[in-house]
Amino acid sequence: MDIKELFVFDLIGTFAHFRKYYTNSSSLSYTFPPRTVITGIIAAALGMDRDSYYSEFSVDKCKLAVSVLSPVRKSIHTVNYLYVKNLGELTGKSGHTQVPVEIVFPKKGSEIRYRVYFYHREEAIVKALKQRIERPIYPIYFGISEFIAKGEKVGDASAEELVSDLPVSVNSVLNLDFTQENGLVLREKEKVLRYISEVMPLEFDTHRRLVKKAKFVYEVSHEPVIAKLKVPYYRVSYLGKTDNILFMS
């Protein structure tokens, strides 16, 4: 794709739970929203019906990168859910069941903030999102309906595609498929970098079946990921600020 301009916006909330797709009775959470969650948030803001937008935001039409702006932590809490096996039990007559749920919290302050870098080959969708990200048609939330979130417009950004044989400092989370073998830099000067990797979904088909997944890394101390890359990256400039990003797919 010939990408010259992006729309940048922030997603903000107090709590989050981005359920890992491979968990069973214990609901573990990703630290940051997967691509499928972000496209769902965008679809909600634009008023698209549930499960109707997967092809519209496929990886060949839409490019997304995300960075974690606020330090976060996770802890597991036991939540009471209704025990339901059929519609008749929605009244609560069968009692409750307790389920461990991992919740993402801000480590400092009162909010979680993620920055999203968005490109779509259809300019009409980008224009509509600029108008709706702060006034969504459907409410947006961080994973579950109890964790209401909001969007905040940052602005337009210019994007320059670059190639480097040297390690690159990347501000977004990094798809490990885009790094050279043993390409992660573990120490920068006197600072030790600590990475955590998570396997995340990238795309669903029209029946909400997983089509693609990938392993992503982020730096737990809120530092950029430094790696030797085997693909081009983008230098994004906006509001006097410059970020190096790679799209999630």
Give the architecture-level CATH label for domain 5-80+96-245. 2-Layer Sandwich (3.30)
Long-range own/partner contacts, residues 94-102 (CB < 8 A, 24 or more apart):
99/25, 99/26, 99/27, 100/25, 100/26, 100/27, 100/76, 101/17, 101/26, 101/27, 101/29, 101/76, 101/77, 102/17, 102/26, 102/27, 102/28, 102/29, 102/74, 102/75, 102/76, 102/77
- Per the CB < 8 A criterion, the answer to whether 249 and 203 are in contact is yes
CB atoms within 10 A of CB 2: 6
Using 50, 70 and 90 to split pLDDT, how confident is the model at 81? confident
Which sequence spans correspond to the domains of the chain? Answer: 5-80+96-245
- Per the CB < 8 A criterion, the answer to whether 121 and 110 are in contact is no
Higher pLDDT, 23 or 125: 125
**pTM to 2 decimals?**
0.93
pLDDT, tens digit (0-9, with 9 covering 90-100), for 117-147: 999 999 999 999 999 999 999 999 999 999 9
| 89: region left, alpha or beta (phi > 0 left; psi from -120 to 50 alpha) | alpha
pLDDT, tens digit (0-9, with 9 covering 90-100), for 88-111: 887 888 888 888 899 999 998 889
Q: How far apart are CA 35 and CA 150, in angstroms?
A: 17
Distance of CA 197 to CAs 45, 220, 226, 235, Å? Answer: 29, 10, 14, 23
